[in-house]
Amino acid sequence: MSQRQVLQVFEQYQKARTQFVQTIAEFATRPQNIETLQNAGVMSLLRPLLLDVVPTIQQTAALALGRLANYNDDLAEAVVKGDILPQLVYSLAEQNRFYKKAAAFVLRAVAKHSPELAQAVVDCGALDALVVSLEEFDPGVKEAAAWALGYIARHNAQLSQAVVDAGAVPLLVLCIQEPEIALKRIAASSLSDIAKHSLELAQTVVDTGAIAHLAQMTLNPDAKLKRHVLSALSQMAKHSVDLAEMVVEAEIFPAVLACLKDPDEYVRKNVTTLMREITKHTPELSQMIVNAGGVAAVIDYLGDSRGNVRLPGIMMLGYVAAHSENLAMAVIVSKGVPQLAICLVEEPEDHIKAATAWAFGQIGRHTPEHARAVAAANVLPKLLGLYLDTQCSEDLQVKAKKALKNILQKCTHLPGLEPLLYEAPSNILKHVICQFSKVLPHDSKARRLFVTSGGLKKVQEIKAEPGSALQEYINAINNCYPEEIVRYYSPGYSEALLERVENYQPA
């Protein structure tokens, strides 16, 4: 046997391995192949190839593994159980940048599925290796490492804390400052994932000076980067007043409103979320946003968008209105009520309706003027309809009821209250009648209208238990009218009259 013949065997073997790994990697991109691959025992075959002598084969094997693990959590678990992670982590520190990228991809794919898998990734010491890769020169490696860290951190506070403890945050902040857009995006998203869990984590991120860098990028033309940056800012601002103030102090405010007109839907949503997280803390912060014209912009945004992305906007209006009557008035002046009424009608989903009902409750609960603005938009019958609709979720019903109660207790706008007289159940009717009994004694025009519109008749038809609050209110209304009017409208009056005719003896 010549040397060439011997070597040819090796060559063939190497060629076959390469081809195998490449084909598997190719197949793993299509979801329909995954099950077949899994049944064929691809995991146990790929594992030794990770230790192959040829770097290309190693990389491609890692790539294939990553794609498989990316597909579902069973496969990711198989990767964990196959003890592949320690090899990857070990080689993450040793190998070249292509391999690092592929290894980080596998780690990300595994960590993405569940907290347990992410914990497994952490347990095999991946964090340190990933953090070291963040210091790599190659932006691709940094990106892959930042991505993996973000996926690990997004599950819960513990994992996030582990990422922070590994010292990833300052490096991620450095990554934000890199010129590559993709790296910036991923780093911002990772920071967002870290900051979202708790106040301490957010504080850690803020302490590294991330806000200033993030704030600079809010006007970047790249839509995806803006998404992540705004999401990171909102995750930081949501925990405490101090952090929210720090975000505001970065002077993002009138400028960031321009993002509300961005063509990208998620950019708009994240801006609104950011504003919601800031406004929910204190009246002063809300006032700041209101003064910057944020409320009007958000109301316009509600008009422009459909579906779930409206939710933060609706909640933001609710939070602003909840703080003080002045701010609620600002929402009304900015024409927020008609827009919210449109949302209440248009949106099919219960949770959005619930948020809208809550926002209405917050707007209308301050003074009669506020309640009048809400009632004039013809919202009360809709809220009542939601409360009475048995197909609505329980949460929505509770919210609608609370909102109705809040508004009704302040409402003196009788034309708005009138429809409720005919439809409301007794627990709502109580508040409606109460408002009538407060207003009617002082307003002669309203008394007249109340009779002509048939309200008085309806009131006479209500069966209230004697001694109850409802009966008292009814009595108070009856006292505003001459007795014969009251009797005229009482049910059964015609029979009583006829009876009198029968009993009458002509002299």
Site residues, other proteins (CB under 8 A): 7, 10-11, 14-15, 18-19, 22, 53-56, 59-60, 254, 257-258, 260-261, 263, 290-293, 295-297, 300, 326, 329-330, 333-334
Task: Name the residue nearer to other proteins (CB basis): 51 or 469.
Answer: 51
CB of 256 to other proteins, least distance (A): 12
Name every residue whose Cβ is closer than 8 Å to that of residue 367 and which is 6 or more positions away in sequence.
325, 410
Task: Name the residue nearer to other proteins (CB basis): 13 or 422.
Answer: 13
Both tokens of 157, joined, read: 């506070």
Both tokens of 300, joined, read: 């316009």
Task: Name the residue nearer to other proteins (CB basis): 132 or 223.
Answer: 223
Rounded to the nearest 5 degrees, what angle is found at the Cα of 121, between the Cα atoms of 115 and 124? 140
Task: Name the residue nearer to other proteins (CB basis): 188 or 297.
Answer: 297
Task: Name the residue nearer to other proteins (CB basis): 104 or 404.
Answer: 104
Give the Cα separation of 13 and 9 in Å (integer).
6
Residue 18 CA, chain-centre distance (Å), reads 46
CB of 365 to other proteins, least distance (A): 18
Q: How many CB atoms lie within 10 A of CB 41?
A: 9
Task: Name the residue nearer to other proteins (CB basis): 60 or 460.
Answer: 60
CB of 263 to other proteins, least distance (A): 7
Give the Cα separation of 223 and 274 in Å (integer).
16
Both tokens of 152, joined, read: 């690990």
Name every residue whose Cβ is closer than 8 Å to that of residue 266 and which is 6 or more positions away in sequence.
223, 227, 309
CB distance 104 to 141 below 8 Å: yes
Task: Name the residue nearer to other proteins (CB basis): 261 or 306.
Answer: 261
CB of 227 to other proteins, least distance (A): 17
Give the Cα separation of 317 and 314 in Å (integer).
5
CB of 140 to other proteins, least distance (A): 15
In the DSSP assignment, the letter for residue 361 is H
Backbone region of residue 157 per phi and psi (left: phi > 0; alpha: psi in -120 to 50; beta: other values): alpha
Task: Name the residue nearer to other proteins (CB basis): 14 or 220.
Answer: 14
CB of 221 to other proteins, least distance (A): 10
Task: Name the residue nearer to other proteins (CB basis): 209 or 293.
Answer: 293
CB of 436 to other proteins, least distance (A): 28
Give the Cα separation of 121 and 115 in Å (integer).
10
CB distance 405 to 383 below 8 Å: no
CB of 372 to other proteins, least distance (A): 15
Give the Cα separation of 379 and 88 in Å (integer).
60
CB distance 408 to 447 below 8 Å: no
For 361, counting Cβ atoms within 10 Å of its Cβ (0-12 exposed, 13-18 middle, 19+ buried), the class is: buried
CB distance 115 to 152 below 8 Å: no
Task: Name the residue nearer to other proteins (CB basis): 255 or 498.
Answer: 255
CB of 274 to other proteins, least distance (A): 16
CB of 261 to other proteins, least distance (A): 4
For 317, counting Cβ atoms within 10 Å of its Cβ (0-12 exposed, 13-18 middle, 19+ buried), the class is: buried
